[in-house]
A and B are shown apart, each in its own frame.
Chain A
Amino acid sequence: MTTVERPVGGRLIDQFEYGLDAPICLTWELTYACNLACVHCLSSSGRRDPRELSTAEAEAVIDELQRMQVFYVNVGGGEPTVRPDFWHLLDYAVGHDVGVKFSTNGIKLDKARARQLAATDYVDVQISLDGATAQVNDRVRGAGSFATATRALENLAEAGMKDFKVSVVVTRENAGQLDDFKALTDRYGAQLRITRLRPSGRGADVWDQLHPTQQQQRELYQWLLAHGDGVLTGDSFFHLSAFGEALPGLNLCGAGRVVCLIDPVGDVYACPFAIHENFLAGNVRDEGGFQRVWRSSELFADLRSPQTGGACTQCGHFDACRGGCMAAKFFTGLPLDGPDPECVQGYGEAALAARDGSAVPPRSPLDHSHTRPVRGQPTLLGMPALPPAKICDESPLSGLELR
């Protein structure tokens, strides 16, 4: 464990590298359960984990966040709204000065829920959409998911909800649709939020196929420079700053420093893209709760010191991109103090090519993926072999264990 003396004064970003007394905000995945099976799911969600935090335990986490003055949380999953106590927890958090921004595929956002949300202050909704057309979206998110999402957007707009978001993960297949996404979002009076595809969770399986090309990254960078003020990014594309001009935002990896993840079973990870034991700092069920994990975990102490070594510190663009995304490096098998796999100066491609062919990139042993195809299974990886709906559809004896 390294303890480095914090400097006095200087730039805010330099202070952030040494961490804060509490996160600026954090991501809280409420459940691994999900009705969809998106090919790039960062948390390999699908099935509920039986060890999921109970309602009372979740309330205790909210109480603690209120004490620590964490003013808002990004709630996700899985699909958070499939938790039966989701709406209760939403009210509970808002009632305890913890604002909620939640991400959903829209499955539960009917007209009544949309009206309820529109009437609640301090709640933000993000509808996930990974294509501006059903064709592009449904290939990765599953057949019917575009229709579900746009119906939710219609309901929110109709209810008079303000400032809701459309959240897009930029892929090779939708990178050319940025203007279309903006137009679609404007049509509902919503705000566009775009984030980066990471090789996390099932994202590792499709990253080679879906991560934007260098040319697309350059176009994305230009697009962000032109539209950056009207588009949210969650500070997701700071690695693009090495193209030249800094993008709006912190331009810093905030993992364990200013953000973290609480997963459905209460495990605290450095960031939502880093669900792996190497980035596990503790559990909110441990003695001392979340506060103790945030303030005292050895992992977070290690992350809270500026990077001083490694190939990137020798690069003229280091101050712009700070070496990029820790999770993107880790899950592509690159060293954490080296270049990001999508380094815009091209060092990432070289590093990927130089990987030892026999070494397999690390993978999280946690996988809550559905074990069988879901309705509207995404087709990006080919058509799934659907099991017969009833065992007798195929053969009167199939699936029966006859001894």
Chain B
Amino acid sequence: MATTAVAFDPSRAWRKARSVALRPEPFGALVYHFGNRKLSFLKSKPLVAVVEALADHPDAVATLVACGVPESQWPAYERALADLARSQMIEERTPVPPTTRRLAAGPCTEAENA
């Protein structure tokens, strides 16, 4: 395993780890890491949308904004993301410079436009 767990900083760029698969479930999703074979669960559909959208935004806070997560819930979301970072389900990525960044169509594109 090349990736190692890092402390979660919401002002940095993240993405769902490349060796991780999300399986939709009625309450959220099952998360599986093919590398370390760890299994986890995302307990709400909005959290699933946030995890999937991380890669499309410059940092985690921007992702929460784009996904329309109310600010009062940010601490809870950041705790959940920190847990996922600790278990290597999400990983840091090198951010694309803002000038060249193009927002790809993704699960949170609608929320962002709203």
Contact = CB atoms under 8 A, between A and B. Distances in A.
> Are A and B associated in one complex?
yes
Interface of A: 6, 8-9, 12, 15, 18, 20-22, 24, 69, 71-72, 97, 99, 122, 124
Interface in B29-55: 30, 32, 34, 37, 39, 41, 43-44
B26 interface: yes
**Would you list the 8 A-B pairs with minimal beta carbon distance, nearest first?**
A69-B23, A71-B32, A15-B27, A20-B25, A21-B25, A12-B41, A6-B26, A12-B43
B21 interface: yes
Chain B: interface secondary structure?
strand
Contacts of A15: 25-27, 43
Contact of A99 (B24, B25, B37): B37
A72 B30 CA distance: 13
A18 B26 CA distance: 9
A146 B21 CA distance: 39
A334 B70 CA distance: 51
Given A9-B44, A12-B43, A24-B39, A71 B21 contact: yes
B21 A69 contact: yes
A124 B30 CA distance: 21
A121 to B, nearest CB: 9
A6 B34 CA distance: 30
Interface of B: 21, 23-27, 30, 32, 34, 37, 39, 41, 43-44
Which of A6, A18, A69, A71 neighbours the largest number of chain B CB atoms within 10 Å of its CB? A71
Contacts of B26: 6, 15, 18, 20-21
20 contacts: A6-B26, A8-B27, A12-B43, A15-B25, A15-B27, A18-B26, A20-B25, A20-B26, A21-B23, A22-B23, A24-B30, A24-B39, A69-B21, A69-B30, A71-B21, A71-B32, A71-B34, A71-B39, A99-B37, A122-B37
Chain A: interface secondary structure?
loop
A20 B30 CA distance: 9
Given A15-B27, A24-B30, A69-B21, A9 B43 contact: yes
